[in-house]
Structure 1
Amino acid sequence: MSSHMSHDGAAKDAREMVQFPPDMQTHFLGNMRDHLQTLNEIVDALARDDYAAASKVATERLSLDSPSAAGCKPQSMHQASRPPENRSQKPMTMEDMMETYMPEAMRGIGLSMHTAASEFAKVAMTQDRAGAMTALSHVTQNCVSCHSSYRLR
């Protein structure tokens, strides 16, 4: 019986360890589980040829306009919607923590994933199955890239 990975010996995990404060780590891991659930809902909708549902869930939960994308956006993309603040007097927002603790390349992959999800939502509305599947693969390629490069534990 063969496996896709060798389990001989204790292989060193070469992914970059990302150190988040405990509250941020809990939030971030919850966000990743929601992304996985969202991808499952998209695949389910596509399996039923419900392109509108697939587009809607992608838009609401993964797109650049979704709440989950805020931490991956450069400050310039979301700062205009927030009033200036004195960070020493107010607690850090999740966006502030992402900017402070998340490696820039990791944020870039996240931004690419959210951008790909926005594109998928548009393509899905055309009801072009092959196009939708290709666009969805661009979303998941970013997931694979990030999870292959970074770890929290």
Structure 2
Amino acid sequence: MSRGRMTSKASLSCLVLLFLLASGCAEHQPAPGMSGVTPVHLPDVRTPIPLEADARQEHRAVMLQHLETIQAIVAALADEDYRLAQGLTETHLGFFMHRHAMARQQPENFPPAYHDLAMAHHEAAEKLADVMPTKDLKRILPEFNNVLKACVACHLEYRLRHS
């Protein structure tokens, strides 16, 4: 390699290094709309649910399945496939799913208030399924919102204990 090329490569490497150092030390600007917002790290005060490893893994799988179902329901509604949205809601979020999930977990380790929240979630899902045949989003979306509220209420109150 010629001496000129080596000098050029060394100069380019120095420029890249200086750029990286300068950008790493530069003052970071907050994201648009976030000026004056200071991130707050609050302690997790949710009630832990003491489950053994297998039951904890099963519970996580059920929660992930609920989230995937919510996404699939939204997609079905966007496609105006109300029958699919209703079927998903009944099968994966309604009382059938609650009975199925509890049979595979350790229901005795869940606090009674958790069961109350779970039942409210499944009841909201049943009401959502009941309005799907109307194909009226002004009736469907408020019921869908109630399902999401039930999800959030439970997640705000409980967490799985990490062992």
Q: 5 Å matches for 1:59-78?
A: 59-64=90-95, 66=96, 68-70=97-99
Which residue of structure 2 lines up, in the alignment, with residue 151 of structure 1?
A: 159
CA displacement 1:15-49 (0-9 Å, x = unmatched): 11111111110000000000000000001111111
AA at the equivalent of 2:144: L
Report the structure number with the largest CA radius of gyration. Answer: 2
Query: What is the CA–CA distance in structure 2 between the aligned matches of 1:6 and 1:49, rounded to whole Å?
Result: 41
Which residue of structure 2 lines up, in the alignment, with residue 40 of structure 1?
A: 71
Change (3 A) 1:94 1:7: same
Displacement of 1:6 in angstroms is 5.3
Is 1:28 the counterpart of 2:59 in the alignment? yes
Gaps of 5+ in 1: 74-92
Change (3 A) 1:45 1:104: same
Query: What is the CA–CA distance in structure 2 between the aligned matches of 1:61 and 1:72, rounded to whole Å?
Result: 10
Q: Higher relative contact order at CA 8 Å, sep ≥6: structure 1 or structure 2?
A: 1
Displacement of 1:72 in angstroms is 7.7
When normalised by structure 2's length, the TM-score is 0.72
CA displacement 1:82-138 (0-9 Å, x = unmatched): xxxxxxxxxxx536x21x100111111111111111111110111111111111111
Which residue of structure 2 lines up, in the alignment, with residue 104 of structure 1?
A: 112
When normalised by structure 1's length, the TM-score is 0.76
When the two structures are aligned, how many residues end up with a matched partner?
128
Report % sequence identity. Answer: 27
Query: What is the CA–CA distance in structure 1 between the aligned matches of 2:146 and 2:99, rounded to whole Å?
Result: 20
AA at the equivalent of 2:151: C
AA at the equivalent of 1:113: H
Q: 1:72·1:111 contact (CA, 8 Å) conserved in 2?
A: no
Q: 2:132·2:140 contact (CA, 8 Å) conserved in 1?
A: yes
Change (3 A) 1:130 1:27: same
What is the Cα-based RMSD across aligned positions, in Å?
2.1
- 1:115 pairs with 109, 123, 138, which one? 123
